[in-house]
Amino acid sequence: MDLNACHNLKLKGSKNSQKTLAKEIPASTAAPGTVEKIIKALSGLESDIDSLNENLADMKKQLNQKAQKEIDKLREQVIQMATKEAEVIISEATEKAKSESQRILTSGDVNLKDVQNKIDTKFNEAVDHVVSTVLKA
């Protein structure tokens, strides 16, 4: 009788029969074939655990790669959005500067004409004064 059969009997029997079976087949007298099966099963389980650990490590690497790709993609999107926003701000500032420079230029032209008119008027007065002074003398 192997351990699985003994275990099945334990599950099916009553509490008293479980005690009797445990007494009848001590663990130390288990058949060598059964021990080998258990060792093989544990070895297989250990291999499965190692395989799962390797798969888990691979999955972690893949997840990290995907996360990094997503981070890079989002970084690119943020850079593009910031660039577009900066272009809009620069464009608005340029338009405002052009408008202000045009206003200053117009104001400067008006002031220049005023100054030229004043110079012309004062020049004509000065010429008239010099001519009248020369003629009187």
Per-residue confidence (pLDDT) for residue 5, from 0 to 100:
42
Per-residue confidence (pLDDT) for residue 20, from 0 to 100:
43
Per-residue confidence (pLDDT) for residue 29, from 0 to 100:
58
Residue 37: partners with Cβ closer than 8 Å, 6 or more residues away:
2
Per-residue confidence (pLDDT) for residue 127, from 0 to 100:
83
Separation of alpha carbons 102 and 96, rounded Å: 10
| 28, 3 Cβ separation under 8 angstroms | no
Per-residue confidence (pLDDT) for residue 137, from 0 to 100:
66
Per-residue confidence (pLDDT) for residue 22, from 0 to 100:
42
Stretches where the chain sits below pLDDT 50 are 1-25
Q: Where are the domains of the chain?
A: 31-136
Print the SS3 string covering 96-134: HHHHHHHHHHHHHHHHHHHHHHHHHHHHHHHHHHHHHHH
